[in-house]
Structure 1
Amino acid sequence: MATMKNLYRNPASSLAYHHDTYPYITPSKYAGSLKSKVVLITGAGRGIGRASALAFAAAGASVVCMARTRSDVEGVVKEIEGKGHPRSIAVVGDVTDPEVPARALKEIETALGPVDILINNAGISRISDIGHEKDILKTWDVIDVNMRGTLAFIHAVLPSMVSRESGCIINVVSVLATISLPYFSAYSAAKAGLIRATHIMDMEFRPHGIFSYAVHPCMCADTTLGEGALNMEAYEKVEGVKQFAIDFGPSMQDTLALPADTFVALAADPDAKYMSGKYIDSCQDLGEVLQEAKKGPDGRIEKEGLYTLKVDTL
């Protein structure tokens, strides 16, 4: 799998493909554009979540940094404040705790007001063949965090968004849900579920002025998603797992700025609504994608059912 990175992109695509931020989503374009908005980012203590918190703060939003580790989110808040953006708070909680969404929303609304933008970024992964999983709950934990945690927070913010007829929901998914790679069964299933749920929920949310997106962030080495994900028994006993781990590293070549700036653009750019309910690859040029999406029924996206998770049959 020396060319694994080539599996992540459509070789027939003519769109520009990026590994770092680029002009259409550049931070200067959206500076101050989200000044009146409150954004809640789960998994905000590190990696993509941290980068996103800083990006939304630069765009003027009031930022809620949420994660399980207090020191992580408090550190991000201090970093935001150090850059001259005072309206940010840290909220500590586990997205799989059924009591957390309501408690978090109450804390947020008291401090900053209702949530306008929800970034469902919290997630964990697992790399293993299913046969060497001694504890099947390891795989279920992946479903629990990525799928149930996300749906729980959508459910929590929805009433306020509906009443205000406004909102933006970004579900962080993965390209691994759209291609077939071994050893990611739980993670791919969870992210595929989120993509499909985003398609369906858009049908429910869009009439209320709420736009939602399922976004593959990037393949970046500067995240903690993979920490503890590798089943060491499978690594030692299954040659394919060991080789996969070796080949996977070189594919991680994108920057954290790429997804962070993409999320801001989706929340701030009025044209983003044309891709509401769809799967979005942060590496594809968003401007070019939106240009085609704006064509509606006359464009390829609608005609060919692109950016939608589906099963093609005869």
Structure 2
Amino acid sequence: MNGKIALVTGASSGIGAATAKTLVEAGFKVYGTSRRGAQAGQQRCEMLSLDVTSDASVSAAVGEVMRREGRIDLLVNNAGVGVAPGGAEESSIEQAQSIFDTNFFGMVRMTRAVLPHMRAQGAGRIINIGSVLGFLPMPYGALYAATKHAVEGYTESLDHELRNWGIHAVVIEPAYTSTPFDANMLAPDAQLDTYRDVRAVVTRRVQEVMAVAEGPEVVAATVLKAALARKPKLHYTSGGLAKRLRLLRTFAPAGVMDAGMRKDLRLV
């Protein structure tokens, strides 16, 4: 992969930082991005300032990579915001729009900015970081799951559209991953007393699972696998739990899945 240019959003920590490091070690020249730009200790890749919710910022960052390198071979859309457990009605419309603006429309902005260059060069790969919640939504996680469902649908359509230009789109589906991202999730901004007890129960269970979750390097390894595949799959689960959940979602009766999820979250 020497000479291949990769652009990774949200690369200052967590999955993004692990992905940037893994790609560098595989021979890619990597440009990472964060809202804060270059950070102390971020020496494995070039860091650029980027806010995926800003059209101007996206255009400037992609333009800078093109100015320096003349091509972009791989885009990893990783930037996103986590949402703490809460009822679907406990987030204001403004907060819901903000979550989508980062988790979904940020990916759309980046893709639209990069695609003209990939089409011109006749090759490229776009890897979107989704979630198991994109195919298996959990209660008290409606908005986050909705953004990841949107990522899944967008990626599938995109992949169909781009094959004639030698471009493939892929979605990575991790389960719980131990990162600072998950430790600093956005709390619902319109909390209701009626959800207080169940919100606390689900939050405790999520914290228990996060304490033993796999690290971001597992997701980074899956990204590398998808980046190097001659004929990439459309979906890649990442980690043992994600693989088990995909199998259960595919083959287990809906009632069994429903009961199992509620039991695991301590809702029964």
TM-score bracket for this pair, using the shorter chain length: 0.7 to 0.9
Deviations 1:244-290 (A, max 9, x none): 0001123231121111111111111324x2x1xx22211269xx9xx
> Aligned ranges for residues 253-292 of structure 1 at < 5 Å?
253-271=213-231, 273=232, 275=233, 278-283=234-239
**Partners of 1:168 and 1:267 within 8 A in 2:** yes
Q: 1-side partners of 2:108 and 2:189: how far apart? A: 31
The 10-residue stretch of structure 1 (220-229 or 117-126) with the greater mean CA deviation from structure 2: 220-229
Give the corresponding residue for 1:201.
Answer: 158
Find 2:39's aligned residue among 57, 74, 89: 74
1:60 and 2:20 matched = no
Q: Which amino acid aligns with 1:93?
A: L
* Residue in structure 2 matched with residue 147 of structure 1 by the alignment: 104
Shift of 1:136: 2.5
Deviation string 1:9-66 (CA, Å, 9 cap, x unpaired) is xxxxxxxxxxxxxxxxxxxxxxxxx211110000001100001111111011111010
Deviation of 1:74 after TM superposition, in Å, equals: 2.9
CA distance, structure 2, for counterparts of residue 182 and residue 59 of structure 1: 39
Counterparts of 1:178 and 1:187, CA distance in 2 = 12
Q: Which residue does 1:299 correspond to in 2?
A: none
Shift of 1:232: 7.7
Structure 1 SS opposite 2:30: strand
Instruction: Output aligned runs, 1:1-314, within 5 Å.
Output: 34-70=1-37, 73-75=38-40, 77-78=42-43, 80=44, 88-127=45-84, 128-133=86-91, 135-231=92-188, 234=191, 237-252=195-210, 253-271=213-231, 273=232, 275=233, 278-283=234-239
CA distance in structure 1 between the partners assigned to 2:27 and 2:70 by the alignment = 15
* Partners of 1:66 and 1:42 in 2: CA distance: 5
Partner Cα separation in structure 2 for residue 60 and residue 235 of structure 1 = 50
Q: Which amino acid aligns with 1:75?
A: A
Bigger Cα displacement from structure 2, 243-252 vs 49-58 = 243-252
Relative distance call for 1:76 and 1:211 in structure 2 (3 A) is farther
What stretches of structure 2 of length at least 5 have no aligned partner?
244-249, 251-268
Q: Letter of the 1:213 partner, please give it.
A: V
Please report the RMSD computed on the Cα atoms of aligned residues, expressed in angstroms: 2.4
The structure-2 alpha-carbon separation of the partners of 1:77 and 1:113, relative to structure 1 and needing over 3 Å to count, comes to: farther
Q: CA deviation at 1:226?
A: 4.5
CA contact (8 A) 1:65 1:77 kept: no
Q: Which runs of 5+ in 1 are unaligned?
A: 1-33, 81-87, 289-305, 307-314
Distance in 1 between residues matched to 2:81 and 2:64, nearest whole Å: 25
8 A contact 2:14–2:181 mirrored in 1: yes
Question: What's 1:7 paired with?
Answer: none
Q: Which residue in the other structure is 2:246 paired with?
A: none
What is the CA–CA distance in structure 2 between the aligned matches of 1:209 and 1:233, rounded to whole Å? 46
Change (3 A) 1:246 1:225: closer
Provide the rounded CA distance (Å) in 2 between the counterparts of 1:37 and 1:76. 23
Distance 1:76 1:44, change over 3 A: farther
1:229, CA displacement in angstroms?
1.7
CA–CA separation in structure 2 for the residues paired with 1:101 and 1:75: 23
The Cα shift of 1:182 comes to: 1.4
| One-letter identity of the residue aligned with 1:60 | G
- Asked whether the 8 Å contact 1:57–1:63 carries over to 2, the reply is yes
Return the TM-score normalized by structure 2: 0.83
- Quote the residue 1:6 is aligned against: none
User: What do residues 198-254 of structure 1 show as CA deviations (whole Å, max 9, x unaligned)?
Assistant: 111111111111111111134222232451423387487521111000011232311
Inter-CA distance 101–233: structure 2 relative to 1 (3 Å threshold): closer
Shift of 1:167: 0.5
